[in-house]
């Protein structure tokens, strides 16, 4: 690892237990990752990952989206936000309410929550924003804020081999479908649901009669490796982003060790299983 390059500053967004956050914190503390977690933010107050952040001495914040969405913060709504909501309405893919005035009211509240989240994240001046079990979609307004300054700054880890099984139930959907291999994906966040350019993926076997918890725990071990490796590739400037003729973006990893790293992931996933 080159020592004269600055560590990447990471903001991590969570909604729950935060084991991915913990894996990143542990690798940073052990000097295995050229990064520093500068801020952790959750969209709900009971996210256990907040405790993990506090224990690690990382500033942690709650932006309680459900309070915003319930109207508890309506006094903070400004005319500018209402204009913004109007302009975003046709592009946003989060709110499906068919009644337009109701949808716009909800969108304004969502933007209020996002503005608070942006403020919290910026307090850490991060280079990258890593969604790690953050169970919300973000609006084009949120993305424009971060991608405007530096493209490809917002990343997500997803517990399935995208484009299969987007959404909140990656492991459940993989198992319910009867897949024999599962996968995990790190991708750049775009305006869709788990549709952004893929950085890297890893796969693991699913053995006969395994239950959800066995599959999830094998997948999570891979998630920790994959996310850390992607952060390392970004630090090392080994991720190239290209645009195809049809306009779709995709990434290429320039690392001579790439095949070895992939093989290590598969070997580890195979040997962690009781398949024989
Ligand atoms: C992880 O499996 C992550 O991939 C998934 O939530 C879990 C969070 O676990 N994310 C999604 O499903 C996003 N659509 P953690 O809080 O223990 O890191």
Q: Compute the distance from residue 250 Cα to the ligand 1 centre, in Å.
A: 23
Spans of all domains in the chain: 8-271
Q: 26-41: buried (b, 16+ CB within 10 Å) or exposed (e) per residue? A: ebbeeeebbbbbbbbb
Mean pLDDT, the chain, integer: 94
Return the DSSP state at 37. E
Are 157 and 16 in contact by the 8 Å Cβ rule? The answer is no
Are 77 and 112 in contact by the 8 Å Cβ rule? The answer is yes
CB-neighbour burial class of residue 178 (10 A; exposed 0-12, middle 13-18, buried 19+): exposed
- Assigned architecture for domain 8-271: 3-Layer(aba) Sandwich (3.40)
The more confident residue out of 157 and 243 is: 157
Is the shortest distance between the CB of 92 and ligand 1 below 6 Å?
A: no
Predicted confidence at residue 246, as pLDDT, reads 94
Q: How far apart are CA 266 and CA 249, in angstroms?
A: 27
Which atom of ligand 1 approaches the CA of 20 most closely?
18
Predicted confidence at residue 3, as pLDDT, reads 58
The active-site residue out of 141, 145, 158, 187 is 158
pLDDT in tens, 141-185: 999 999 875 678 999 999 999 999 999 999 999 999 999 999 999
pLDDT in tens, 62-121: 999 999 999 999 999 999 999 999 999 988 888 888 999 999 999 999 999 999 999 999
Is the shortest distance between the CB of 158 and ligand 1 below 6 Å?
A: yes
Q: Is 158 a catalytic residue?
A: yes
The yes-or-no verdict on residue 272 having pLDDT over 60 is yes
For a mutational test of ligand 1's pocket, the pick from 23, 133, 154, i.e. the residue with the most ligand atoms closer than 8 A to its C-beta, is 133
Q: Write phi, then psi, for 167 (nearest 5 degrees).
A: 105, -160
Residue tagged 């990258």 (tokens)? 128
pLDDT in tens, 19-37: 999 999 999 999 999 999 9
Is the shortest distance between the CB of 19 and ligand 1 below 6 Å?
A: yes
Question: Which is nearest to 9 in space by CA: 217, 115, 137, 153?
Answer: 153
For a mutational test of ligand 1's pocket, the pick from 15, 20, 44, i.e. the residue with the most ligand atoms closer than 8 A to its C-beta, is 20
pLDDT band at 262 (very low <50, low <70, confident <90, very high): very high
Q: Compute the distance from residue 201 Cα to the ligand 1 centre, in Å.
A: 15
Cis peptide before 163 (omega within 30 of 0): yes
Residue tagged 């079990």 (tokens)? 133
Predicted confidence at residue 276, as pLDDT, reads 46
Q: How far apart are CA 87 and CA 190, in angstroms?
A: 18
Q: How far apart are CA 201 and CA 266, in angstroms?
A: 11
For a mutational test of ligand 1's pocket, the pick from 170, 171, 175, 199, i.e. the residue with the most ligand atoms closer than 8 A to its C-beta, is 170
The yes-or-no verdict on residue 47 having pLDDT over 80 is yes
Q: How far apart are CA 85 and CA 104, in angstroms?
A: 6
What does DSSP say about strands 249-253 and 8-14: parallel, antiparallel, or unpaired?
A: unpaired
Residue 25 neighbours by CB distance under 10 Å: 25
């Amino acid at each position: 690892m080159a020592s004269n390059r600055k560590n990447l500053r990471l903001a991590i967004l969570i909604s729950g237990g935060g084991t991915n956050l913990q894996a990143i914190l542990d690798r940073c503390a052990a000097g295995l990752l050229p990064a520093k977690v500068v801020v952790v933010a959750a969209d709900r107050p009971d996210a256990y990952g907040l405790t993990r952040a506090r224990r690690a001495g990382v500033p942690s914040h709650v932006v309680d989206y459900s309070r915003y969405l319930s109207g508890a913060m309506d006094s903070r709504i400004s005319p500018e936000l209402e204009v913004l909501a109007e302009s975003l309405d046709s592009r946003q893919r989060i709110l499906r309410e068919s009644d337009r005035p109701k949808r716009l009211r909800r969108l304004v509240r969502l933007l209020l929550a996002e503005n608070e989240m942006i403020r919290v994240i910026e307090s850490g001046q991060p280079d990258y924003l890593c969604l790690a079990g953050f169970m919300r979609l973000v609006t084009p307004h949120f993305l424009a804020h971060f991608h405007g300054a530096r493209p490809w700054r917002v990343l997500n880890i997803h517990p399935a081999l995208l484009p299969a099984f987007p959404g909140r139930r990656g492991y459940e959907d993989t198992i319910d479908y009867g897949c024999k291999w599962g996968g995990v994906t790190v991708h750049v966040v775009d305006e869709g649901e788990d549709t952004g350019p893929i950085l890297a993926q890893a796969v693991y076997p699913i053995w006969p009669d395994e239950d959800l918890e066995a599959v999830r725990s094998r997948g999570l071990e891979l998630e920790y490796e994959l996310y850390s490796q992607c952060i390392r590739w970004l630090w090392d400037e080994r991720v190239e982003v290209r645009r195809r003729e049809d306009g779709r973006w995709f990434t290429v990893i320039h690392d001579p060790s790439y095949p070895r790293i992939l093989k290590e992931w598969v070997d580890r996933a195979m040997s962690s299983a009781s398949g024989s």
